[in-house]
Chain A
Amino acid sequence: MNILKNLYSINSTSDLLVLKFGLFISLTFAFVFLALLLGSTIFSLVHFSKAKTNNDNTIFAFSKFVSGLVTKMWFRFLLGFLPMLGSVFFFTQLYAEKIPSAPSAMLIAFILFLLGLCSILIYKNLYKTENVNEITNTFLPTLAWLGIGLISVSSFILVAYLQASILGNKEGFFAILFSPSAILYFFLFVSLSFGLTSGVIIAVLNRTNEGIYKSYARYFSTYSGLIFSFLHPLLFVLIVLSTPVNSLSFLYFGISALVLLLMLLTAIQFYYSYKNSKAKTTSIVFLFVLLISFLVYSTNISSEVASKKEMLQKHRVELFS
C-alpha cells in the first residue's frame, strides 16, 4: 500500500491544491456514474421481474431501455473507470497519513467497482430478445443483483471514507464504515441515484420518438423523481445537522443553501415534466450533476476545515496543559 501512498510527493500548498482539485473532479464524475449505474440497473431489474410476472412486453422494453443507459464504452471509460481510478489515487495521496486504512479501503472499493461493473455488463446479454416469454435464464438477473451489491459496497466505502476525512476517524475499516454519518450519506447517495436515473430517463425520452413504453416511462420517471425529490432534502438536512462543529464554515452553509435550492429546482422540473409531456427537461440531468458536484465540494470543504482545526489544536502552544 506504500506505493499508493507515495505516488505523488506533496511538497507545497500548490501540490495540495492540485490534488484537492483532482479529487473534487474525479469524485464528482465517479459519483454521477455510480449513481446512474446503480439506479438504472435497479430500475431495470425491478421492471424485468414485473414484466416477467405480468408477461408484459411493454414493461420489458422499458426495462431494456433503462438497462442500456450506461452501456456505451466511452461513457463507461470516461465517466466510470477513469474517475474511480482518479478518486482512489487522489484520496490516498491526500488522506493516507490521516486515515491509515485509506489505501487498502480505496483499492477494495476499486476492485469491487470493477467486479460489479463486469457483472452488470454480462447481465445486459439478457436483452437479446424482444419477448419476455422467451427468457428462462435466471442466472443473469441474479448476477445483476450481485453486481448491484458490489457497486453499493464500493460506493459505500467511498462515501464512508469521505466522511471519515471530515471526522478525522483514525479507527479501523469497520468502525469507519459503520459510522452514522457514513450510513446517512449513503442513503442520500442511493436516493440521488434514483432521482438522477429518473431525470436521465426523461432527458433521453425527449431525444427519441421510438418506444412503445414512452408514456409508461414518462409516468414512472416523473413519479419516482417526485418521490425522491422529497427524500433528498430531508436526508441532506439530517447530514448538515450531524456534521461535526469542528468542520463547519460559512462556505459550508452557503453551499448547503445552494444544494437545497438545486433540490427544489429538480423537484420543480419533475413536476413541470409531469404536467407537460412535451416539455424538454434535459436540464434535470445538468441540475443533478451540479447538485452532486456541490455535495462533493461541501464534503471537501468540511474535511479541509476539520483538518485545519485539528492541526491548529495540535500545533497550538498548549500554555495551560
Chain B
Amino acid sequence: MKNKKIEAELEFKELIKSPVRLFGLIFPYFFILFLIVGIYFVKHLDYLTFNQVPPVLTDSLYNRTLPDVKIKKGSLKAAVDLSTISNASGEIIKKGKELFAKNCTACHGPTGKGDGAAAAALKPPPRNFHKLQGWTNGNHFSEIYKTLQDGVKGTGMSAYDYIPAADRIAIIQYVRTMAKYPPVTQKEITELDKKYNLSKGEYTPSNITIEMATKKILEENSIPKDKINNYLTKLNSTQNQEVTDLLNNYVADKTKMLMIFTRDFSTEKDVNKFINRVINSPMESGFKTSVTSLSVEKLKKIFNLLTKIVG
C-alpha cells in the first residue's frame, strides 16, 4: 500500500502571509481563552469567597500610624458634696493647700506665682494665680475645673483627672484665695454637675493598648502546639479510613480545624453546635466552603471522629 501524504487543510505559511485568514479562528480561539479563565475561576471559588471578608480597616492605611488606646488607670470617682463649690470652708481650703503643695508647686511655685523649680523649662510659662488676665480656658470655677480635668494642649499643663473630684475642688478653692476670682453661680454649679456627674460619682475603667490587649487574649486562649501536633498524629494514623477520607476531602487547614475543635467543642461535645458552626463559617473553622454540601449524617461522623481524637 502506498503511503499517501496527508494534505493539511490549513497552509500555515499562507496564514502568515495573509493573517486575515486567521480571523476565521478568532471565535474558537476566544472560546478556549474564556474557558481557561472560567475553569480558573471555578477552581478558585474558595479563595474568592474568603477574599470577600471585609477587614476592619481599609487598604494601605494599615501601614500608617493609627492612634492607639492610651494606657490609663481606671478610677472610681466618689460623689461630691456640691455645697463645697459654693461655700469654701476653712477645712477645704486647708486641704486644698496641702494638695497644691503636693501636686502644683513644682511648676506654679509655693505661692502660686508661676515661679516653681520647673517653670524656667516650660514654654509658655506656668500660670500666675495672682493675676486674672490671659487664662486659656478662663478663670471661672467651672473653667478651672475643665483645665484640671483635661489639661491645656500645647502647654506643660497636663490633665489631673486621676485626682478625685473632691480634691480637685479643694485645690481650686485654695487657688481662688490668691486673688479676687469671679463668684460661683448656682447655674455654673448645675452645669458642672451635669457635665461631670459630680453629685453621682462615676466609675472609669482602666485602659490598655490594643497590642497589650491582643497579647492578653492570646495568652488566655492559646492552646499548646505539641497538644495539637499530637492530635494531628492521631488523626493521620486513625483506622477509620472512610471518615478520614471524607474529612481529608473537606478540610482546608487541619491544624486550624483541630484548634477550633479543641477550643470550642472538646468540653461541650455539642454536635448540633458543631454542625451549625461548620455550615455557617466553614473557612473560620478550618474547612473548605464545599463542606456545606455534606449531609448532617456525614458531618456527625466527622464530629465523632474529632471527638474521639481530641478526647
Question: Please, which residues of chain B bring their CB within 8 A of the CB of A249?
Answer: 48, 51-52
A264 cross-chain contacts in B, Cβ below 8 A? 26, 30
Interface residues on chain A, size class: 35 or more
The answer to the question of A233 belonging to the interface, with a C-beta cut-off of 8 Å to chain B, is yes
Asked if A42 is at the interface (CB within 8 A of a chain B CB), the reply is no
Tell me whether A311 and B62 are in contact in the complex, defined as CB-CB below 8 angstroms, given that A223-B19, A248-B44, A321-B218 are known contacts: yes
Is B55 an interface residue when CB atoms closer than 8 A count as contact? yes
Majority-rule SS of A interface residues = helix
A13 at the interface (CB under 8 A from B): yes
Q: Which stretch in A126-134, A207-215, A283-291, A301-309 binds the other chain?
A: A301-309
A257 adjacent to B37 (CB under 8 Å): yes
Which B residue sits closest to A252, measured CB to CB? B48
Q: Quick check: A237 and B33 within 8 Å, CB to CB? A: yes
Q: B48 touching A250 by the CB < 8 A rule? A: yes
Neighbouring A residues of B7 by C-beta, 8 Å: none
- Kindly identify which residue among B41, B51, B57 contacts A246, using a CB–CB cutoff of 8 Å: B51
Main secondary structure of the interface of B (DSSP, over half): helix
Contact check: which of B55, B259, B263 meets A312 at CB < 8 Å?
A: B55
**A226 at interface by CB-CB < 8 Å:** yes
B22: Cβ under 8 A from any A Cβ: yes
Q: Is the CB of A260 within 8 A of B30?
A: yes
Q: Are B37 and A253 in contact (CB under 8 A)?
A: yes
* Contact of A278 with B by CB under 8 A: no
Docked Cα-Cα span, A314 to B256, in Å, equals 17
Picked from A98, A247, A305, A321, the residue with its CB within 8 Å of the CB of B63 is A98
- B196 at interface by CB-CB < 8 Å: no
Partner of A230, one of B22, B51, B63: B22
Partner among A222, A233, A234, A253 whose Cβ is within 8 Å of the Cβ of B41: A253
Nearest CB in chain A to that of B18: its residue: A223
* B: interface residue count bin: 35 or more
Residue of A nearest to B228 (CB): A320
B55 and A315 within 8 A (CB): yes
Q: How far is the CB of A268 from chain B (nearest CB, A)?
A: 8
Q: Which residues from B are CB-within-8-Å of A30?
A: none
- Given A16-B58, A223-B19, the answer on whether A237 and B37 have CB atoms closer than 8 Å is yes
Judge whether A312 and B63 touch: CB under 8 Å: no
- Once the chains are docked, how many angstroms separate the CA of A190 from the CA of B2? 50
Q: Is B40 an interface residue (CB 8 A)?
A: yes
- A227 near B23 with CB under 8 A, answer no
In the complex, which residue of chain A has the Cβ closest to the Cβ of B47?
A245
Task: Select one of B19, B37, B59, B217 contacting A226, CB under 8 A.
Answer: B19
Q: How far is the CB of B260 from chain A (nearest CB, A)?
A: 9
Q: A245-B47, A311-B55, A315-B57 are in contact. Are A240 and B217 (CB under 8 A)?
A: no
- Supposing A245-B47, A248-B47, A319-B222 touch, asked if A267 and B26 sit within 8 A by C-beta, the answer is yes
B29 at interface by CB-CB < 8 Å: yes
Residues of A within 8 A of B (CB): 10, 13, 16, 94-95, 97-98, 222-223, 226-227, 229-230, 233-234, 237, 240-241, 245-250, 253, 256-257, 260, 263-264, 267-268, 271, 274, 304-305, 307-312, 314-315, 317-321
Residues of B whose CB lies within 8 Å of any CB of A are 19-20, 22-23, 26, 29-30, 33-34, 36-37, 40-41, 44, 47-48, 51-64, 214, 217-218, 221-223, 228, 255-256, 259, 263
Closest 9 CB pairs of A and B: A97-B63, A311-B62, A312-B55, A245-B47, A320-B259, A271-B23, A307-B59, A308-B55, A253-B41
